[in-house]
Structure formats: structure tokens, C-alpha cells
Amino acid sequence: MTSLVNLPNDDTNCGWYAALPNPPEPRRLQGEQSADYAVIGAGFAGLSAARRLAEHYPQARILLVDAQRIAYGASGRNSGFVIDLPHKFALEHPDPRHKQRLLGLNRSAIDQLQGLIERHGIECQWSHAGKYQGAVGERGLAYLDHFRGLLDNLGEPYRVVERDELNGVLGTNHYSRAIFTPGCYLMQPAALVRGLGASLPENVEVLEESPISGLERDSAGNWLLQGNNGVIRTPKLLLGTSIFTREFGYLRNRLLPVMTFASWTRPLSDEEMSRTGIQADWGLTPADHAGTTVRMTQDRRLIIRNTYKHVPRYGSSVSETVRRKIQQDHRKAFLARYPQLADVAFTHTWGGTYAISRNFTNFFGEISEGVYASACDNGVGAAWGTISGRLLADLAVGAGSQQLDDIQSVTGMPSLNPPEPFLGLGVRTRIRWAAWNSRSEL
């Protein structure tokens, strides 16, 4: 049996999760279970895969299992942008059809999420707010010009917003210019993910706090998933385990575990809102990707996200000292933008782990006989996880479609990483170099 070494171990301080009421007691994996399909990982990818399997086979027994509570992993602790435009690196792809396929897939994910939110009344601050891509100094402005060229090439709509107009929305004159693109949606990720988990079809059984620590195949060709107090036997296994896919022995030397971090404030008062002139419900990502993301939620909390760490042992790679230093860096970024809010403290600082690859290629497909995986979304997994999970289920049941062809044509094999210690050294140096170069945008 493949024994997993590292299990998810996210910190207990995620603001999004803390803002929700306590969930009901979880159901855990107990005893010997047989399933027609098992899905490991209840983030965007796994939830979407399990739902789609149930749509195909309403009579099948589908088990969706997660090591933690639903919404405790990266899907519930991100910045809550559901993006339509692909990542900067994907936007630079030379083939326009590749980019149009990515756009189409992301937009289909947004439509699916919107449909589910409306059908099941999921309260998650879902908002068609669009997104600002903001520049502070010369470096950011150069990135913005480049971004503008990419949008022109694609024929995508956008609006250039200058400092004064930005100030009227963001309540800060920190940014010299931004490009506003209308297709992005914002949400409260923990609320959305919990809502998706609670509205799954009846034949999906959710098992939480049930880490799978071993995987093997029996003589009949079934997969055996070993838990602490039980085992699942299934002919078909879908992995929505993002970076933890490595722990099952797959893509081991191809995925890179990266953590990024966020801090937020309590909801601002009416007086604080008018003191800054800030409006509620917007999101800004940095023109230079190593810069700072800022969000204002519908319930008026300000969020700062920056800092990347290479985390070979996931959450436990980051010590308390490092976490405190990150919080101080967040504070610096906050005060640079909102000196008038120096009396407003952060209430939560948290991190989350996701997968990137050196060639920015996403993996999607059958990874071993009867095992299907969507892994490596390069840090923009809300839309990607949703669509790739759904299409992974289609692939597993043999339901072909134009979208399945599209996702297969835009995904591939993440490139091989050099061995340690060169890998860690290289990634750390690159992250530090990017942070230093981008210091004006932080």
C-alpha cells in the first residue's frame, strides 16, 4: 500500500471560516465501505466531480472524502475571486485558440457556480463585481501596459481607471492606475464551498475528518483507500487533492507546493467608511503578480494578501515566527494604503497551500488505471477546480463533449522539477527575487 507521509494541516485562523456558524457534526469514514465511485478532496474540484458523477448516475453510491472539514482547505481560504480571464502566463500563450478555450472553460465554471448558488440559495456574498488589476509604481504600470496588449489581442473588454476615480472606490490614492475587467465574480469562499457541500445530490455521501493515508489496488482491480478507522473499496477513484496528489505517489516530482497568506480586519464602521471614502464589494489583484491583492468584502472587511513560500511539508513548513513576520508585512501593506485606518487591527491571518508547476501547465486526466486527477491549477482554482472537476467526472464515465476536448487540449504534463536541494534553493531564490523586484507593488 502507498502510505501517505504528509496530510493537509491548515492553520486554525482562517477568517472566512471563522465568520461562519459552526457546522453540524461531521460523518467520518468507519468500517469497510464499497462505492461505485470515490472522490478524495472536497474543494472546488472534488465537490464538482462528485456532483457531476451523481448527475450521470443518480443510483450509484458516491463517497466524497476529505481529511478536514469542508471549506477548511485552500478552496475555503482563498481571496474569493472567481476569474474568467486566464492567468497572466496562460494569457501569454501564442495560440489564440488556446486562450479562447481557457476563457470558455472558466466562464462555463462561473455559470455553473451561479446556477448552483441560485438554485440552492447559497449565501456567499456572490457578486458580479469585476476586478481591478492595479499598478502602484513604474514597474506595475509596465505590467499593466503589457496586460492591456494581451486583452486587446484577445478582443476582451476592459476600462482603464486612473488614480482619482480609483480613489473614489478603493478609498486610497495608493494606486496610480488600474485596468478594470468586468467578467470576474467575487464571493465568500468558505460560505460558497460549505454551501456546495451541503447541496450535493442525495447519492453523494460526504465523509469529513477522514484522512486517507494509504492507497493500494486489490487483485480484482479495485482501489482500497485506507482511513484511520475504515477503508473504502472502489473501482474508480477521482482525486481532487491539488498539491496532495503528490502524496499518493502521482506527479511527485512535477508539482510545487506553494503557500500564500491573507489577513483581514473586522467590518468597518459607517464612520470608518466615510473617513476613507471607501466603497464595499470590490477586488483588486496586482498588475505585477508578486504584489499585493486587496479586497473589500460586502460586509466591509478589508483583506490584504501577499507573500509566497515554498512549503515542502505544507502548513507545517511555516513556523510561528514566520507567520508573525508575514502578518507584519501585511500590516505594512495595509498602512501604505490606508494610513487613516491605523486604529483598525487585523483580526485573522491565515495561509493556504496550492500547487503550481514550473511550466504553468495544469494536469487533467487518467493518471493510473481507474484513477483520475485534476491537479495543479497554478493558484487560480475556484473557476478551474469547478470546471476541471466536472469534466474529470465526464472523463471517468466516458461522456465525451466539446468541453472535454477543450480541457484535454489546454492541459498537459507539468514539467519535471530538479532534485533537492537544488529545487528548494531555486524556488526560494526566485520567490525572494520576485518579492524584491516588486517591492514598490507590495
- CA 204 to mean position of chain CA atoms: 23
Site size toward ligand FAD (CB under 6 A) is 42
Query: Least CB distance from residue 430 to ligand FAD, whole Å?
Result: 18
On whether the CB atoms of residues 215 and 239 are closer than 8 A, the answer is no
User: Beta partners for 223?
Assistant: 217, 234
- 394's CB contacts (< 8 A; 6+ apart) are 52, 56, 400, 401, 403, 404
8 A C-beta contact, residue 191 and residue 146? no
Return the SS3 of 158.
coil
Residue closer to ligand FAD by CB (options 295, 300) is: 295
Task: Give the torsion sign (CA, 149, 154, 155, 159).
Answer: negative
| Binding region for ligand FAD (CB under 6 A) out of 74-82, 194-202, 333-341, 357-365 | 74-82
Binding-site member from 73, 171, 291, 315 for ligand FAD (CB under 6 A): 73
Q: Of the two residues 143 and 314, which places its CB atom closer to ligand FAD in the complex? A: 314
Please list every residue from 112 through 151 that binds ligand FAD, using CB under 6 A: none
Nearest distance from C-beta of residue 269 to ligand FAD, angstroms:
26
Min CB(22)–ligand FAD separation in Å? 18
Contact 408, 102 (CB under 8 A): no
- By CB under 6 A, is residue 211 in contact with ligand FAD? yes
CA distances from 8 to 2, 316, 390 (A): 17, 9, 23
CB of 8 to ligand FAD, least distance (A): 4
Q: Does 51 bind ligand FAD (CB under 6 A)?
A: no
Tell whether the torsion through CA atoms of 336, 341, 342 and 347 is positive or negative: negative
Q: Phi then psi for 180, rounded to 5 degrees?
A: -100, 125
User: CB of 124: closest distance to ligand FAD in angstroms?
Assistant: 13
Question: Is the N-terminal amide bond of 421 cis, ω within 30° of 0?
Answer: yes
Q: How far is the CB of 128 from ligand FAD (least distance, A)?
A: 15
Q: Of 33 and 272, which has the nearer Cβ to ligand FAD?
A: 33
Stretch near ligand FAD under the rule CB under 6 A, chosen from 240-248, 296-304, 410-418, 425-433: 240-248
Kindly state whether residue 385 participates in binding ligand FAD, applying the rule CB under 6 A. Answer: yes
**By the rule CB under 6 A, 44 interacts with ligand FAD:** yes
| Among the residue ranges 38-46, 92-100, 106-114, 168-176, the one whose residues contact ligand FAD (CB under 6 A) | 38-46
With beta carbons less than 8 A apart as the criterion, state whether 382 and 81 touch: yes
Grid coordinates of 180 = 478594470
Taking Cα atoms as reference points, which of 371, 413, 378, 410 lies closest to residue 392? Answer: 371
DSSP H helical ranges for 338-401: 381-397
266-305 footprint of ligand FAD as x/- string (CB under 6 A): ---------------------------------------x
By the rule CB under 6 A, 87 interacts with ligand FAD: no
Least separation, in Å, of the C-beta of 231 and ligand FAD?
A: 13
DSSP type of residue 316? G
Per CB under 6 A, does 106 bind ligand FAD? no
The burial class, CB within 10 Å (0-12 / 13-18 / 19+), for 48 is buried
Q: Which of 15, 43, 134, 140 binds ligand FAD (CB under 6 A)?
A: 43
Binding residue (CB under 6 A) for ligand FAD from 208, 288, 329, 377? 377
* Cell triple for 70: 469542508
| Residue 42 or 407 with smaller CB distance to ligand FAD | 42
Binding to ligand FAD (CB under 6 A): which residues in 324-363? 352, 354
Which three three-digit cell numbers place residue 90? 496562460
- Min dist CB 114 to ligand FAD, Å, is 15
Q: CB of residue 322 vs ligand FAD: minimum separation in angstroms?
A: 15
Question: Could you give the CA distance from residue 256 to residue 425 in angstroms, rounded to a whole number?
Answer: 13
Measured distance CA(389)–CA(239) in Å, rounded: 9
According to the binding rule CB under 6 A, does residue 241 interact with ligand FAD?
yes
CA-nearest of 394, 136, 138, 419 to 284 is 136
Binding of ligand FAD by 260 (CB under 6 A): yes
Which residues of the shown chain bind ligand FAD in the complex (CB under 6 A)?
A: 4, 7-8, 40-46, 65-68, 73-75, 77-81, 83, 211-212, 240-242, 244, 247, 260, 262, 305, 352, 354, 377, 379-383, 385
